[in-house]
Amino acid sequence: FYRNSGVHWFLNRSLLELAVLAAAEQPTTASAEQGIIEADQLRDLLKYEFFFPDRDTFHRQMLAELETVAPQWRQEAPTALELLDRLTASGFMMVHRTLRSFFDAQLVVAERLVLREPGDLVDRKELVRECVGVGRQMLLQNRLHSPESVSSELFNNAIKLADNRHLLGPGDEELRARRIEFAEDLLAISERITRAASLDPSNRRMFRGIR
């Protein structure tokens, strides 16, 4: 709870970074409306981790966050790549510091579900234990980036999310396909967070200081 309370101050900035990174992958110019759709999808993934306001208030907050980065965005209509440049020019990126552990834990759960037969019943307690063990292995393999990701609390919330999306089953091949899609979406988010870390000017300053 206390960790989430601290992260909450930087939540909208972190969601904006992820939305811009996602938009920057698209071949066409992304609009603010598309950014809001992406932010809504991220909000839904984190609904068991944070208390969000109602959707209209959340949209206003995200547009206000956008204005801190690009005050004239309505007139200028900057591209996603231009917004990404402005985010990095601010001197820091936040999402890899704030949200990585939550999405990493969700990815562990999603990948374990992909490996299960869709017709099998899921024992939640057993799945949490499995995720803790696998998560520790993934830490050693550098597939996870922090011990905070290997948390029974985070895995339990990730399983709640999977249940909310009707991914626990039992089901058929359609369930298998949706589990794969869920895992692929989370892997894409993980890769964007890694990119944010590589773009973070404060990280580069720290590494120069070490040298």
What is the pLDDT, as a whole number, of residue 209? 46
DSSP code of residue 12: H
What is the pLDDT, as a whole number, of residue 208? 46
Is the pLDDT confidence value at 38 over 90? yes
pLDDT digits 0-9 by tens, 85-139: 999 999 889 999 999 999 999 999 999 999 999 999 999 999 999 999 999 999 9
What is the pLDDT, as a whole number, of residue 41? 97
What is the pLDDT, as a whole number, of residue 5? 60
User: Encoding tokens for residue 75?
Assistant: 């007139």
CB 108 within 8 A of CB 165: no
Q: What's the half-sphere exposure (Cβ side, CA atoms, 13 Å) at 193?
A: 24
Measuring CA to CA, which residue among 136, 139, 147, 112 is closest to residue 126? 112
Helices (H), 70-119: 73-76, 80-89, 95-98, 100-114
What is the pLDDT, as a whole number, of residue 172? 97
Dihedral sign for Cα 150, 151, 156, 162, please. negative
Percent of the chain with pLDDT over 90: 74
CB 161 within 8 A of CB 75: no
In which band, very low, low, confident or very high, does the pLDDT at 6 lie, cut at 50, 70 and 90? low
In which band, very low, low, confident or very high, does the pLDDT at 206 lie, cut at 50, 70 and 90? very low
pLDDT digits 0-9 by tens, 170-195: 999 999 999 999 999 999 999 999 99
Residue spans of the domains in the chain: they are 2-93, 98-198
In which band, very low, low, confident or very high, does the pLDDT at 30 lie, cut at 50, 70 and 90? low
What is the pLDDT, as a whole number, of residue 1? 42
What is the pLDDT, as a whole number, of residue 203? 64
